[in-house]
Amino acid sequence: MKIHDITRPLYTGLPVWPGDTPAEFGFANTKAAGHAANVGRWRLSAHTGTHADAPFHYNDRGAKLDELDPALFVGPAVVLDVRGHATLTPGLLARHDLGGAPRVLFRTDTWTDLRTFPARWPVFAPDAPAWLAARGVRLVGMDVPSVDVIDSRELPIHHALDRAGIVILENLDLAGVAPGRYELIALPLKVRGGDGSPVRAVLRPA
């Protein structure tokens, strides 16, 4: 069975959100230096690379990472091809077959030069989260760094998704993934009190 790895790699120098913690990976101990084992060490934001947002990230009363049901991140999903659209409206989404899937991943192919953090990307219309929730969607995944625009302070789409009971995956790598139905596995780390976590996200054909 083919597995689609839809995770962006983590590495030192990975472009991150402007002003966020730089991503660094190195070794605290190495065999070459006489230690018993190679021991890696990370320094990075919880929102680096492909990651899950806990509602606490943008809502002080929201659920923290370890309070989320892991079942949200595993199960039937549909990939939609929305390339070429700057705003994801209910009218646009209605043209696609969600197939009753509770997890919807949006392929925009917006971030193509991975050496530079993008300045703009598609976002949902304000009424799209409620439209998705009314059709049973519990998770959305984007192949861009955020569900809001880069200079947003109020994060209206994050909050609209929260009100709709929809959790968020960001910065997926959906290049080359055909539209259709899959099984998603994208479990975040169980970080006590956490606001987010990198994930290893994969798709299996349904």
Output phi, psi for 66, to 5 deg: -75, -5
Give the whole-angstrom CA distance, residue 59 versus residue 195: 10
Q: In one letter, which amino acid is 36?
A: A
The residues annotated with a catalytic role in the active site are 57
Residues in the chain: 206
